[in-house]
Structure 1
Amino acid sequence: MKSHFKTLIFFLLIFLVSSVNVMAVATPPEINAEGSVLMDASTGEILFSKNPNKVLEPASTTKVLTAIITLENCDLNEEVAVKEDFTKIDGTTIGLLKGDIVTVRDLLLGLLLESGNDAANALACHISSSTDKFAVLMNKKAKEIGAVNSNFKNPSGLPNPKHLTTAHDLALIMNEAIKNKTYLELSKVMLHEIKIKNDSSRTIWVNNKNHMINKNSKYYYKYTIAGKNGYTTKANHTYTIAAENNGHILIAAYLNALDKNQNFKDMKTVFDYGFNNFYFSSMYKKGQEVDSIKVGHDLTIPLIASKDVDYVIPNEDKNNVNTRIELEHKNLKRASFDKGDVILKGTVYLNDKELCKLDLCAGTSRHYTIKEDIDYFFKDNEKNLIIGASIGGVVLLIALTLVIETRKKKKRKKRLLEITTSIPKVEDNKLKKRRRRRKD
């Protein structure tokens, strides 16, 4: 009896300890930043947040957006003539002088690794002729990305009362940046030598200041794939970073963190919270057949996903997942399309909640002609047409018979009439002869 009681107590304790651990891990982390977001890169879903839409200054995390615009508008080997000395620019610089000629790639590395404000200005002026005009491109791009609560006044992140963003917007901007393979490659460079093309006596060395990607740093986080930190006395410490674990990417962003060292620790804590407490899965892969639709009479067209559709849910819900897709109502009876064309839109649901819209592509080509309808009409109505033709034949036969009989009757009637009308004429002739004889 005692042994059974001890066994029961043992398992009860294990259960309680396990429950406590799960609760402890699942509790959202406490962080020192004023604004913060942890976002799932594939779905955009927010897994953790603290004042995610509070407008704050981004400092040098601004340079992520500057890099995005540069990569969209320039070739890495383009040569840039620097228009101002670094001594005339506030904040961190890499040491560029007016007249220096360097490549776009060198300037991007100076921008992302060393956070050079002179590199930022050089790129902005190369693309738009001035930093003010470049800011117009920045705001346009931010809106396209979905960062609608941001406003940028310069390419570097120097303090300006109107130069603002939110943790959520900053995460969206980083998520856009990591879609570019070149951006990811540049972000992982640890050390780089910039050679001044018009002055071989000068070189500039730049080091990666993203400590979480540097294996020699005490803040190294093995899942980090890209990141950019920033600081001004007004913005305090800012940071945006991307991490990948088992093929899944999370984005984190921090604004107005007072303690720089604690900020790096908080980053790890938040990423671990996301990777350990949420289940990431793929519902559809780009190119996968997700459904089919009947077109015309007997033609079935496979419907192909135009993009990956992923979802993220808390670990405790991963065994209770229901997914479905609803197709829009659209008449494709007389539509023509090629394989790969978008022909329908679908609405994807996760546990009866709308997850996303999905363009659906044709799995095969189809080119409609009126002949198709004619062929299908005869095929679908073959029995009816045979019966109709048979009935029509009988009716036609009867009609012909009636016509023939009618004509025969008319002929007989006409002949009879002719006979009838000829008899009085014969009698008249006899009477005339008799009268003549009498006279004689």
Structure 2
Amino acid sequence: MKRRLKALTIIFLFLVSLIPIKASADATPPSINAAGCALIDASTGQMLYGKNENTQYEPASTTKVMTALIVLEKCKLNDEVTIQQDVDREDGTRIGLKKGDVLTVHELLLGLLLDSGNDAADALAYHVSGSIDEFAKLMNAKAKELGATNTNFKNPSGLPDPQHLTTPHDLALFLREAVNNQDFIKISTTPSYTLAMRNDPQRTINLYNKNYMINKGSKFYYPNALCGKNGYTITANQTYVASAKKDDHILVASFLYAVDKNQNFEDMKTVFDYGFNNFSWVHIYSKNDKVSEYKINNTLTIPLLSTKDLDYVVPKGDETKESYDIKVEDKDLSKQSFNEGDEILKGKVYVNDKELETVDLAAGASRNYTSLFDVSSLSKNSIIAIYGGCALAALGAATGLGILIKQKFKK
């Protein structure tokens, strides 16, 4: 009897082993040592994970992401900059610039993003705006433009200031913008660089990238890492904003007020893995897809094309549960001309009846509107015919009016 029971047990276990088991990702949100964190999808801006994501903290040198954005927007990389101020007196990390040094904007950005030079930050701010205060105004304006509502910058380097604050969510928005700029990615991922002063080529400065997540020789290396920026002050503690790319999808994560630097690097890997393992991207539209149409009149309808690729992030397993639609703005184009490809309207994209994003819509065909009173586009013969017709009509009206007047006086 025991032998039979044992044999049946073995057969049962063998059969169970043949049943396929569906592996699932760990959907438990990560536990991290940073006080504040935000993980967002770079293409949509959707929040995938947050911890005190709207709480203000000091950003330290992660500030330099915004500094670089402003400089890349306002300057050319080969512009030469002569250091006019005593930036070597700047507090915190310096790369060793001196008054009178001549470098390019590109070289100063390397000093800013690789070695986190506060002197490079100040030199760039003076070059763009003439003062730190004026440059801070540009930073704050750009922050608002990007949707950051809880950020206030006071300087381009991230030096401590009780009014120099951001949130994990806002900080993630800044790097989300930066990863769309190939110059930013190329500069921020340069492993090392040697600066030679153009006014004194014998004087050089060696730069080394402090983003250990992209360094294959570092214990903190992360294969999916794209780019990022670290920071530290006594009051801000460890700060970091980083991006990672996997299967053509980019995630951005920010970490503020982390006590343990080593643990923070491990936490960054954990947070990115959580995002990649637990979320899927549903493709909604591709660039140039026809997404709707606009009726000009009873005889003319213009196709409306998406001007960008549009994806939506969902928890894995929910890919087929999403429905989407687009609502085109109500705007009168009946008296407007436009060419194929011109952005003529905006559309609000909804997923499961919840607004996702507003996208510019381009005309899928050209349209040339001509007013009855606009003769600029008419041929010479057409103009002659119109004027001739008007003259005849005026002559006829005058003749009729004359006859009426004569009849009235006869009476």
* Other-structure match for 1:225: 226
* Structure 1 residue corresponding to 2:16, chosen from 10, 23, 28: 10
Whether the aligned pair in 1 keeps the contact of 2:324 and 2:353 (CA below 8 Å) is yes
* Structure 2 residue corresponding to 1:22, chosen from 12, 21, 24: 24
| Residue identity in the other structure for 2:147 | G
Whether the aligned pair in 2 keeps the contact of 1:296 and 1:334 (CA below 8 Å) is no
* Other-structure match for 1:93: 94
- Cα distance change of structure 1 residues 300 and 242 upon mapping to structure 2, 3 Å threshold: same
State the distance in 2 between where 1:329 and 1:204 align: 58
Q: Equivalent residue of 1:319, what SS?
A: helix
| Residue identity in the other structure for 2:16 | F
TM-score of the superposed pair, with normalisation by structure 2: 0.84
Higher mean C-alpha deviation, range 251-260 or range 133-142: 133-142
- Aligned-residue sequence identity (percent) comes to 54
| Residue identity in the other structure for 2:115 | E
State the distance in 2 between where 1:169 and 1:75 align: 26
* Other-structure match for 1:106: 107
- Cα distance change of structure 1 residues 348 and 199 upon mapping to structure 2, 3 Å threshold: same
Compute the displacement of 1:335 (Å): 4.6
C-alpha distance after superposition, 1:281-325 (max 9, x if no partner)? 321122111223443223332111122221100002012222222
Q: Equivalent residue of 2:138, what SS?
A: helix
C-alpha distance after superposition, 1:64-100 (max 9, x if no partner)? 1111111111111122122344541111111111211
- Cα distance change of structure 1 residues 330 and 153 upon mapping to structure 2, 3 Å threshold: closer
Aligned positions of 1:149-188 closer than 5 A: 149-188=150-189
Runs (5+) with no aligned partner, structure 2: 373-411
C-alpha distance after superposition, 1:378-413 (max 9, x if no partner)? xxxxxxxxxxxxxxxxxxxxxxxxxxxxxxxxxxxx
1:75 is the counterpart of 2:90: no
Whether the aligned pair in 2 keeps the contact of 1:241 and 1:253 (CA below 8 Å) is yes
1:273 is the counterpart of 2:274: yes
Aligned positions of 1:310-329 closer than 5 A: 310-329=311-330
Compute the displacement of 1:61 (Å): 0.4
State the distance in 1 between where 2:109 and 2:210 align: 14
State the distance in 2 between where 1:258 and 1:339 align: 55
Whether the aligned pair in 2 keeps the contact of 1:225 and 1:242 (CA below 8 Å) is yes
State the distance in 1 between where 2:240 and 2:302 align: 48
C-alpha distance after superposition, 1:91-126 (max 9, x if no partner)? 111111121111111111000000011111111111
Q: Equivalent residue of 2:305, what SS?
A: strand
- Cα distance change of structure 1 residues 335 and 96 upon mapping to structure 2, 3 Å threshold: closer
C-alpha distance after superposition, 1:165-195 (max 9, x if no partner)? 1101100111111221111110110010000
| Residue identity in the other structure for 1:136 | K
Aligned positions of 1:324-343 closer than 5 A: 324-330=325-331, 332-333=333-334, 335-343=336-344
* Other-structure match for 2:388: none
Whether the aligned pair in 1 keeps the contact of 2:282 and 2:319 (CA below 8 Å) is no
Q: Equivalent residue of 1:153, what SS?
A: coil
State the distance in 1 between where 2:369 and 2:292 align: 22
Q: Equivalent residue of 2:170, what SS?
A: helix
State the distance in 2 between where 1:325 and 1:208 align: 44
Q: Equivalent residue of 1:348, what SS?
A: strand
State the distance in 2 between where 1:91 and 1:332 align: 57
Whether the aligned pair in 2 keeps the contact of 1:296 and 1:332 (CA below 8 Å) is no
TM-score of the superposed pair, with normalisation by structure 1: 0.78
1:356 is the counterpart of 2:362: no
Compute the displacement of 1:255 (Å): 0.4
* Other-structure match for 2:54: 53
State the distance in 2 between where 1:187 and 1:70 align: 14
* Other-structure match for 2:250: 249
- Cα distance change of structure 1 residues 319 and 3 upon mapping to structure 2, 3 Å threshold: farther
* Other-structure match for 2:293: 292
C-alpha distance after superposition, 1:126-183 (max 9, x if no partner)? 1112212211111111111111211111111011111111101100111111221111
State the distance in 2 between where 1:57 and 1:201 align: 38
| Residue identity in the other structure for 2:31 | E
Q: Equivalent residue of 2:320, what SS?
A: coil
Runs (5+) with no aligned partner, structure 1: 372-440
- Cα distance change of structure 1 residues 11 and 93 upon mapping to structure 2, 3 Å threshold: same
State the distance in 2 between where 1:93 and 1:58 align: 18
State the distance in 1 between where 2:103 and 2:53 align: 38
C-alpha distance after superposition, 1:199-255 (max 9, x if no partner)? 122100000000001111111111111100000011000000111111111100010
Whether the aligned pair in 2 keeps the contact of 1:230 and 1:238 (CA below 8 Å) is yes
| Residue identity in the other structure for 2:134 | K
- Cα distance change of structure 1 residues 334 and 64 upon mapping to structure 2, 3 Å threshold: closer
Whether the aligned pair in 1 keeps the contact of 2:37 and 2:168 (CA below 8 Å) is yes
Compute the displacement of 1:3 (Å): 6.7
| Residue identity in the other structure for 1:305 | S
Whether the aligned pair in 2 keeps the contact of 1:303 and 1:360 (CA below 8 Å) is yes
- Cα distance change of structure 1 residues 334 and 28 upon mapping to structure 2, 3 Å threshold: same
- Cα distance change of structure 1 residues 327 and 122 upon mapping to structure 2, 3 Å threshold: closer
State the distance in 2 between where 1:257 and 1:170 align: 15
Q: Equivalent residue of 1:195, what SS?
A: strand
Q: Compute the RMSD of aligned alpha carbons.
A: 2.3
* Other-structure match for 1:135: 136
State the distance in 1 between where 2:335 and 2:79 align: 51
Q: Equivalent residue of 2:282, what SS?
A: strand
Whether the aligned pair in 2 keeps the contact of 1:340 and 1:364 (CA below 8 Å) is yes
Q: Equivalent residue of 2:202, what SS?
A: coil
Q: Equivalent residue of 1:34, what SS?
A: strand
* Other-structure match for 2:33: 32
* Other-structure match for 2:117: 116
